Structure formats: C-alpha cells, structure tokens
Structure 1
Amino acid sequence: MMRKTIAILLASVLTAPAFAQGVPDDLTTMPPVPDDYQPSTTSWGDPDFRGTWPLNDIAELPVNRPPQYGDRYWKTEEEIAAEQGRVEALEEAYENEDEEGTIGLGHWIEYEAGSRRTSMIVEPANGRLPDWTAEGVRRSALMRGSWTVGQTYDWVTDFDSWDRCVTRGFPASMFPFRYNNGIRIFQSPGYVVINLEMLGTRVIPVAGQDEPWPDGLDGWFGNSRGRWVDHNTLEVVTDHVQPGASAFNVATRGVPPNNTMPMSAEVVVTERFHLVGPDTITYEMHYSDPVIWQSDFTTRVNWTRDESYEFFEYACHEGNVQVRNYIVANRVQREQEYERGRMVDPIDPDAGPPPAMDPASRGVGQQTENTEESE
C-alpha cells in the first residue's frame, strides 16, 4: 500500500544522517551531482538505465521555491518533521476508503512526503522561475484551454493539446502530475526510449544521429539527440519542439496558473540523466527560450527506481465527449447570461471565439489570428 511507502519514506528522512542524503551543513548550497557510481552496462556496452522510475516521490516538490525558505535549497529537520501531519492525514484517507470499500481522493492523489529540497529550480539561485519577456506575456495571454478561468468555448481551438488528449507537452511531460506518474526507460543499440504513463513515448537516438531536423518539421516532444557522457550520464539535447502546449503543466506544484506557459520555436532543452546509484537517477534540465524568458533556468530532481510500480490506463477523457460538453454547456450558460442582460452580444452558433462577449479573453480571437499571420 502507498501509505506504508509514505510512512517508511518519512521515517527514513527523519532518522537518516544528513550526509546519507547529500544534504550539506550549509542549507544555502547545492552540492554537485556525484559521479562516483559505476553503473552496470547493457550487452552492447551502454550504461544500463533500464527500469521503472515513477515520479510520485517528487510530486510534492514545487518548481518555484516558496518564499518562507528564503535562499535555502534545503529544509531544516524541524520543517521536514512538521510535514508528518500531512502524511498522517493521507494515511487516514487511505484507511477510511479501505474500510468503506470506496475509492476516492485518498487513492487518487499520488505523492510521497519527506523531500528535503525546497524547490526543483537550482538555477537561478533564488529557486524561482525567471520573469517572462514582454513577448512571453503577450503569448501567454493568447493561450486557451480548460484550465483558464473565465474564457469561452466554441471550438476545439479553445482547448489546449492536453485537453484534447494529444500531449501534456515537453518538457512538461517529464515532471510530476497528481497521478499516472510512471516513467519507464527502455534501451536498444543506438536508442533510449522513455515511456510515459500519461500521454506519450520519447524515442531518443544515442549513436551519433545528431543531425537536426529540417526547418519546418516539428514534434510535440521535439527532436532529441542523446550521447553518453563520462561513465554514468546520458545527455539529451532537444530542439524543434512544437509550440502550443504549456512548458509546465498547471498541476505540477509551484508553477504559474492557467496552464499558459508559452513556448517559442527557439526553445532548446538540455537534459542530463545521471545514474548516481543502483536505484537513483538525478535528472537535470536546462531550459533556454530567449523569446519567452528573460533568462535560462535549470531544474534538478532525483528519480527513484520502483519496479513494483504498475502502469494504468490514462483514459484522459472517457468517451471523447468532454470537449463537446464544454462547448455545449458554455454556450447554454452564455445564452442564459444574455437573456439576463449580462452579455453584450447574442450567441452566433456559426462564429468562432467571441472575445467581445468575454472580457476575460482580452480580445484573444483577433490577437490569435494576427499572431499566426505574423509567425
């Protein structure tokens, strides 16, 4: 049961000496990634990363550092001990559902408490995402989706790629959600394959196939080229990422709201998978998109092997009815609002997104059209 895993993990965090976790005496410093582990190799000689690496144990770690931690990368022992109350509440939710024979939120949300880290961001040193450029702010305002408060729904273009069950996007898919956090790594000569429990599989060549894609060819996960660095690290550089999805998903802790973190065609993501022990991968991601962000940033988290973890179907929206339901329900709502005198224009069933009726959209329909023409 997950509650047992959580209890064991928390106990180990509270009792293990600091050096065993790589926590320095100075909580405002981040030690370098260790490189003293010598991994086993595959039959063709590559470092063996194969296995199941679910992200549940970092699902509570925020991307942005909460202000109360100041300039610290690490929590104090007192702060980590205070998290025990949340663990106990989750254990109680599991126990109640087991006794009642129900499956509810207690079994739905997957996380394990006890991380000593204060944020995923390690650069900049303040542990927070940098500011957007003026263009980043503009493009964020143009993005639409079911997570955006106050917008209207008239066609599939009012929904993002995740709403439409296409993809969570990249690098968003490499970070935890609230469930379906499974990641499996497969290897064959010349390739590493990353299978994601929630929408998607990445195929990464690692045998010198480093030619970039032709201009105009893009993919939701981009064009990834890998290479082995030293004896325990896989480095993957990805460009040609299809803009449109949010760079981070809204339900990853500590990111801006609305699932509207834009990407440009200039984004380059550099990942480093460090196998630092038989059951631990340190995952680093350096993100560069000068069109959207005022500076680059880097995240670092640890993945933990768990071969007992089972993948389950991510149904996304069952029966493929939710997009239609959003549109129908929103039009009915707006018709009712118009009849009450709260809308400035009637509903035209043949029209696209009606920004004039939706102050929250800030004229998105016309701006989106102009943006597409300019790009």
Structure 2
Amino acid sequence: MRAAAICLGIALAASCPASAQDVPADLTVMPPVPTDFAPPRTSWGDPDFRGHFPIDIIARIPFERLPEHGDRFWLTQEEYAAQQTNGDTADARYEADTQAGTLGYRSFITAEASGRRTSLLVSPADGKLPPLTAEARASYEAGRSSWTDGVDFDWVSDFDTFDRCVTRGFPATMFPHRYNNGLRIMQAPGRIVIMTEMVHEARVIPIVSRDDAEAMRWPADVRTWMGQSIGWWDGDTLVVETTNIKTGDSVSDDHIARGPSPLNLATHGREPWNILPTSEDARVTERITMTGPDSLVYEVTYTDPQVFTAPWTARLDWTRDENYEIFEYACHEGNVQIRNYITASRAERAAAGGGDR
C-alpha cells in the first residue's frame, strides 16, 4: 500500500436543517434521508441542484462522536441550550460585526436544527472511525506534515499536499475546514460540477446510466488527487462513485517512504487523525438528495480495505445561500510557511550541533 492525501479538515458542533429532518424523540436513532421533496427541474429535466452551499454552518460538528455523547446521534435539549448560551457569549465579543449586519456564531447554530448532531459520522453507529489495519497504522504513525507535532523539516517532501497548496484530497475536500467552506454546484446536460472554495478544485462529473459507469472507468494506473467521479440519478438522488484516487505523493520516492500525505481529519474526538493513508483500493460513494427548496443532504461512504477494517459513512447537511460569494483562493502566492518551517528546523539542528540532514 502506498500512502496518499485526503485532507479532511473537520472541526467541531451542529446538525441538519429542520426542513431536511426533525430531531427524533429517540436521540439514539438516525432517521433515513427524506425523499419526499420534489425538486425543481433543469430545462433538460434533471433535478436542479445549482447554487452556492456554504457549509460553515456544520463546520463545528465533531467528525467523531465525543465520549460524553454515548450512543446518541443527537444532543439533548440541555446540551443544545448550552451551545446556544456559548454562542451568545461568543457573539458578544463580536458585537461590532453584528451591528454591521453579519452573522454571529449563535446564528449559525440556531438558524436550523443545526446544533443537535453529535458527529458527522453516522456509521458505524458508535460515531467512531473503524480501526486501522496494522499496515495503515504504521503508515499513519510515520506520516509527515505540518499538522504533526515533532516533525523535523528539511525539504518540501516533508510536507503534505495541503501544506504545499496542492490539494486537500478526496473526499476531504467535501468536508468543512477552518475557513473557505463554500461549495458551488453547476449543471449542464450530462454533467454536474462541484467546485470547492478551498483550493478551487472543480469536480466535473459525467452523468450516465448506472450500467454504463463501470465501462467508463480509467485503467488502474491512471490516477488523480480527486479520483475519477462518475454519477447517475437514482430517482431524484444523485449518486456519484469515485475510484482511481491518487495514492502517494509525486514529490519524491523518499517522501513516500517516510509516510503519507494527510487525510487531515482534524477532529477533537478520540484521536487527532492528521495523516491517514489511502490505498489503491479506495472507493467513495456519494448520495446527494434535495430535501427542501434550499436544502441538500450529502452522504458519503468511504471504503478502503487496506486502510480501514470496515467502511464508514458521514452525513452532512447543505443549505443554499445565493448571497455567499466565492472569491479568489490564493495559496501559493506569498506562502512563506514551507520556507519558515524548513529554516526554523535547520536553525534548531545547527544550534544543537546537528547540522543539516
């Protein structure tokens, strides 16, 4: 197995829009995605998903469930009320922004049923990622990235693809990060495009029949950071399957030997999953369902038997906001981080009498 990038930058606490799904009485139950909404149609007859979908509103949901939430998919009313209080406290520190008409923290957690989910993961039911295989665990522990404490940096091959402004990888790019969490969906006959604000990666997905999808697959040795995505309609739900995800890093063989680029799954749950590997067998299945005039439910199932001992599934709720704008994402320009890490590490080694590696 060669290691690779999927930088899932995920933070901390919210849930799904009330228009998409109500919180059940039994907080240990995750209801199925509603399918009773009839979406508007494009001029060529497909469900019309077009628009801007900023997912900051779910960027504070833990990726993995915290121990104190036990087997619950949902927060209690008391826990939710505490979040709202915390939101009020945070907003008080940004009163000038509020007066200027911008949204504060509390607005994000109360605008929808959004503070009520305990994790993005919905399977396994315990809200935890499945255990890593022994080989994946070794690769994870050998990984090098600015997200990893104690790494001695000497050259660009000591950094992951996100550090170097190359990519967050897939499916990481579909998950919220600390900032730049806008998504834009565009459609044309036979195509759907999902563009991300972070790194400005555009997934151009052909829409075919399910029977034709596998015949269109690239040869196994043709790979990209985002993989090859092919979609089809299952009723009004868009299904996208992605294979041929790049494994390893093109910078140097030496870097591959050192460890993976990151699947930066920065959760504050059980473990700081900063640099999870990817193998040639990775396969991602996404299901996107419109559940209201401005709401979509996004489900993603990740299968990689060389890395995880079982598949896992996350569910995210997207809300359309046409006032949201995606501006230029400039990362390479003025990116002094890589040089600073290297020069600082070299200076520390010189001071300790170690010199360069």
Q: Which whole-Å deviations, capped at 9, do the CAs of 1:335-371 have from their partners, x for residues lacking one?
A: 1123xxxxxxx223xx4xxxxxxxxxxxxxxxxxxxx
- Alignment match, 1:217: 222
Q: Which whole-Å deviations, capped at 9, do the CAs of 1:36-86 have from their partners, x for residues lacking one?
A: 111111111111000011111101111101111111111111110111222
Question: Are the equivalent residues in 2 in contact too, given 1:180–1:312 (CA < 8 A)?
Answer: no
1:266 is aligned to 2:271: no
* Aligned sequence identity (%): 49
Q: Secondary structure of the residue that 2:307 maps to in structure 1?
A: coil
Question: Are the equivalent residues in 1 in contact too, given 2:232–2:240 (CA < 8 A)?
Answer: yes
1:242 is aligned to 2:221: no
1:291 is aligned to 2:306: yes
How far 1:190 sits from its partner (Å)? 0.8
Structure having the higher helix fraction is 1
1:125 is aligned to 2:125: yes
How do 1:69-108 and structure 2 match up within 5 A? 69-95=69-95
Question: Are the equivalent residues in 2 in contact too, given 1:228–1:235 (CA < 8 A)?
Answer: yes
Classify 1:325/1:248 alpha carbon distance in 2 versus 1 (closer, same or farther; 3 Å).
closer
How far 1:203 sits from its partner (Å)? 0.9
Q: Secondary structure of the residue that 2:318 maps to in structure 1?
A: strand
TM-score (norm 1): 0.79
Question: Are the equivalent residues in 2 in contact too, given 1:56–1:111 (CA < 8 A)?
Answer: no
- Alignment match, 1:320: 335
Question: Are the equivalent residues in 2 in contact too, given 1:148–1:258 (CA < 8 A)?
Answer: no
Supply the AA of the counterpart residue of 2:142. L
Supply the AA of the counterpart residue of 2:355. I
Equivalent of 2:344, from 324, 329, 332?
329
How far 1:324 sits from its partner (Å)? 1.8
Q: 1: CA distance between counterparts of 2:165 and 2:122?
A: 31
Question: Are the equivalent residues in 2 in contact too, given 1:224–1:239 (CA < 8 A)?
Answer: yes
- Alignment match, 2:34: 34
Q: Which whole-Å deviations, capped at 9, do the CAs of 1:248-288 have from their partners, x for residues lacking one?
A: 442x5647426211111110000000111111111101110
Question: Are the equivalent residues in 1 in contact too, given 2:21–2:34 (CA < 8 A)?
Answer: no
How far 1:313 sits from its partner (Å)? 3.1
How do 1:51-200 and structure 2 match up within 5 A? 51-95=51-95, 112-113=108-109, 114-199=114-199, 200=201
Q: 1: CA distance between counterparts of 2:105 and 2:98?
A: 15
Supply the AA of the counterpart residue of 2:108. E
Question: Are the equivalent residues in 1 in contact too, given 2:91–2:104 (CA < 8 A)?
Answer: no
Classify 1:258/1:131 alpha carbon distance in 2 versus 1 (closer, same or farther; 3 Å).
closer
How far 1:110 sits from its partner (Å)? 11
Query: Structure 1 residues 200-209 or 186-195, which shifts more?
Result: 200-209
- Alignment match, 2:255: none
How far 1:139 sits from its partner (Å)? 1.1
Q: 2: CA distance between counterparts of 1:166 and 1:107?
A: 31
- Alignment match, 1:362: none
Query: Considering only aligned residues, what root-mean-square deviation do their CA atoms show, in Å?
Result: 2.7
1:301 is aligned to 2:302: no
Q: 2: CA distance between counterparts of 1:20 and 1:124?
A: 22
TM-score (norm 2): 0.83
Equivalent of 1:347, from 324, 332, 355?
355
Q: 2: CA distance between counterparts of 1:149 and 1:108?
A: 32
Classify 1:225/1:254 alpha carbon distance in 2 versus 1 (closer, same or farther; 3 Å).
farther
Q: 2: CA distance between counterparts of 1:258 and 1:126?
A: 17
Q: Which whole-Å deviations, capped at 9, do the CAs of 1:200-254 have from their partners, x for residues lacking one?
A: 1111111346211112110101010100111x2100000111124433442x564
Query: Structure 1 residues 124-133 or 113-122, which shifts more?
Result: 113-122
> Whose RCO is larger (CA < 8 A, sep 6+)?
2
Query: Structure 1 residues 122-131 or 90-99, which shifts more?
Result: 90-99
Q: Which whole-Å deviations, capped at 9, do the CAs of 1:314-337 have from their partners, x for residues lacking one?
A: 333541332122111210111112
Supply the AA of the counterpart residue of 2:208. A
Supply the AA of the counterpart residue of 1:236. V
Question: Are the equivalent residues in 1 in contact too, given 2:263–2:273 (CA < 8 A)?
Answer: no
Supply the AA of the counterpart residue of 1:221. M
Question: Are the equivalent residues in 2 in contact too, given 1:149–1:258 (CA < 8 A)?
Answer: no
The higher radius of gyration belongs to 1
